[in-house]
Amino acid sequence: QKTSQEYEILSIPTIILFEQGVAQKTIIGALPKKKLQEKLEEFLK
C-alpha cells in the first residue's frame, strides 16, 4: 500500500519504468502485446 501511494498507482495493471532508480515512465492499463512492446522499445532507446 505504501509503494502504491508513493507512485500514485490507482489502476491495475500499472508498469513503472525506472532509470537509475528514478521513475521515468508509467504505462497504465492492459494493452495488446504489440502496443506494449512498442512502448517498452521506445523507452529502451
Q: pLDDT digit string (tens) for 1-44?
A: 899 999 999 999 999 999 999 999 999 999 999 999 999 999 99
**Looking at this protein, which amino acid is placed at residue 17?**
L
Structure confidence at residue 45 (pLDDT) = 87
CA distance 16 to 11: 12
pLDDT at 26: 97
- pLDDT at residue 27, rounded to an integer: 97
Judge contact between 13 and 26, C-beta under 8 A.
Answer: no
Which residues is 28 bridged to in the sheet?
Answer: 14
Neighbours of 2 (CB within 10 A): 6
